[in-house]
Amino acid sequence: MKGLWGTSGRQIWTLRAIAASRNGWVCSSCGSKTTQARHMRFTSNGRSFTTTATTRSNDIDSPAQGQLKEDKPYYVTTPIFYVNASPHVGHLYSMLVADVIKRWEVLKGKRVYLSTGTDEHGMKVQQAAELQDMHPKLLCDTNSETFRDLAKKANITNDYFIRTTDPEHRDAVRYFWARLRDSGYIYESKHEGWYCVSDETFYPESMVAKDVSPVDGKVIMVSMETGNTVEWLEERNYHFRLTAFRDRLLQFYHDNPNWVVPRNRFVEVIDWVQNHLEDLSISRPASRLSWGIPVPDDPSQTIYVWVDALVNYLTTAGYPVWRPGSEHTQGWPADVHVVGKDIVRFHCVYWPALLMAVDLPLPRQVLSHGHWLMSKKKMSKSRGNVVNPFFALSRWGVDILRYFLMHGSAITDDADYNNELIIEKYKKLQGGLGNLLNRVTRPKDWSVREAVKFMTQKHPSPLLPIVETYKNEVEQAMKIVFENMDTLNPNVALREIMEIAYNTNKFLTDAAPWDKVKEGNIVAVHQMVYHVAESLRIVGILLQPFIPEKAAELLDRLGVAANRRSLIDAKIYADTEYGTPTIDLGSGRYSSLFPPLGSEE
């Protein structure tokens, strides 16, 4: 447990948390919802303690309710990844998108938290462990470490790596369940419906259809949404009154038209709530699913894996041990949930309704991305077309793979992973950015440092028309970059950054400062060289979230100080001290920022 209690609703409650032993949880509610005293017995870390705190209505407002407190850190999350199989490039992409967003906010000078981790309970894990004849926890330990290694190898700057088997998370889920039960939105009944093990969810009749099995030709029922097989199940379990939140959800969507990005996925979310909403089964019989968190006070039921998993975002932010009025200091509500398009419903329908039920603020935005395909087909082990992200990182290098995935980005639509495309994009980096950097920093006919000193003096000469026009174009392009980053379109922002580099190359060719050198027009040379260098400096700063190592090297080659690389420095005339390289520039293409690939040697 990480702090004190968090917000609990319209009334002020007094809570007593008593921790005894790790193995048990007893929630001894001492009255109805209107009772002001709550006594909850916790077990945590094998030690006993008592803490008393009050909780109150939302101190942090959701986007529809108002502004966040100034001392709230920016909080971005990836989905937590299922450990029944090894990581693929889609997992890496989710991590990367969240990392780019975090790094961008850090460049603004903000305090930022990034959380990622693994989802380790549920039927898929239980079945995968059974097939390998091993205990589920051992499978989780092994595969979770692989995801942790992937984040490290891809240079993901996560502050937290949460596992749903962590003791703190189990406590948070139990507490969340208790509050959900006390809210009056949980009831017990028999459930009948089409259940998909692969998707870990029930589907309404309107979302299933007949299909033919490619294995034996038999008629099967599948989810129309994912294509995965469903089976008819009848069981007794707990339900959440999701339908009671239809109007509140639709009103929230209306009041927050940019809550889900991109818009086409938000339309799907709204359609689901309007036309497919049903109460949600939120437990499974322990006789069928034993690998999970038992329902408090009812060990015959296991908490639904998606309720368990979604609470991870709260656990990382210190829930439920929040001091009253300081819930926001650890980041909640999340500023951005980054999720794949296949789990949008869980994050944008179930999650906000669950939070509403316990009077917690909703996330500020959800960024949903598409899938990565191979040769225009969905990656799958059966087709043998799954991209191993470790192999890809080793083959291409971290920054090059980061660049390819973000530039060819699958935000709005699915994208195709293709090795030839990676080579193509790398060559454009060589010719567009690497070559430009060499063209301005290596010639002996001029000095970047002298151009910077000349152009940042108090009374520089009026700009030549060609330089003035180009300067205005760069400033306009920068506005587009910032707008797209602020509206969660990092792929578009990256392409615009690269357009600045490509257009700068063209400007350098058209301006031809080497001709001005021959003419002895030193003022023209300084103006041209300076504005090319400024574009490169700004491009280097803006590229830091995307290709951090290469961007750092670019700025080193320009001699930009380490403390002059934030977004406040990303404007023309902002830095007067750079221009002297801090590393050896070398000569020839093999010492360039983007040297030849192995196949080019």
- Three-state secondary structure of 467-536: HHHHHHHHHHHHHHHHHHHHCCCHHHHHHHHHHHHHHHHHHHHHHCHHHHHHHCCHHHHHHHHHHHHHHH
Residue with tokens 């030849």: 596
Paired with 377 in beta bridges are 374
Beta carbons of 183 and 282 less than 8 angstroms apart? no
* CATH code linked to domain 418-600: 1.10.730.10
What whole-number distance in Å separates Cα of residue 137 and Cα of residue 134? 8
| Cα distance between residue 87 and residue 81, in whole Å | 8
Neighbouring C-alpha atoms within 13 Å toward the C-beta of 384? 0
Q: What counts of helices (H) and strands (E) characterise the chain?
A: 20, 23
The DSSP code for 225 is T
Query: Whose CA is closest to 81, among 89, 73, 72?
Result: 89
Tokens encoding 471? 């300067």
Distance from the first to the final alpha carbon of the chain: 56
Closest Cα to residue 369, out of 83, 97, 81? 97
How many Cα atoms occupy the beta-carbon half-sphere of 416 within 13 Å? 7
What pLDDT sits at residue 323? 82
What gap in Å lies between CA 398 and CA 419, rounded to an integer? 15
DSSP of 55-80: E-S-SS--TTT-PPPTTPPEEEEPPP
DSSP letter assigned to residue 244: G
Distance from chain centroid for Cα 358: 25
The Cα–Cα gap between 57 and 9 comes to 5
Spell out, as residue ranges, where the chain has pLDDT lower than 70: 1-69, 191-193, 197-200, 214-217, 226, 233, 380-383, 459, 598-601
Query: Can you tell me the distance from the alpha carbon of 165 to that of 325, in angstroms, rounded to the nearest whole number?
Result: 29
Strands 13-19 and 37-42 turn out to be parallel
Query: Which of 327, 318, 256 lies closest to 63, judged by CA?
Result: 256
- Evaluate whether 177 touches 29 at the Cβ level (below 8 Å): no
Interaxial angle between packed helices 389-396 and 136-153, expressed in degrees from 0 to 180 and rounded to the nearest 10: 20
Q: Residue 336: what pLDDT? A: 98
Side-chain half-sphere CA neighbours of 540 within 13 A: 28
The predicted pLDDT at position 461 comes to: 83
Please give the model's pTM, rounded to 2 decimal places.
Answer: 0.84
Sign of CA dihedral 422, 428, 431, 432: negative
- The string of pLDDT tens digits covering residues 228-276 is 787 776 788 999 999 999 999 999 999 999 999 999 999 999 999 999 9
pLDDT at 13: 26
Beta-sheet pairing, 112-119 with 74-77: parallel
| Per-residue model confidence (pLDDT) at position 200 | 64
Chain mean position to CA 85: 20
Looking at residue 599, what is its pLDDT? Answer: 52
CA nearest to 396, candidates 405, 384, 408: 405
Q: Is the dihedral of CA 325, 331, 336, 340 positive or negative?
A: negative
- For residue 495, the tally of other CB atoms under 10 A from its CB is 17
How many angstroms separate the CA atoms of 501 and 434, rounded? 10
Which strands form 201-203's sheet, in the order they lie side by side? Answer: 201-203, 186-196, 231-240, 280-281
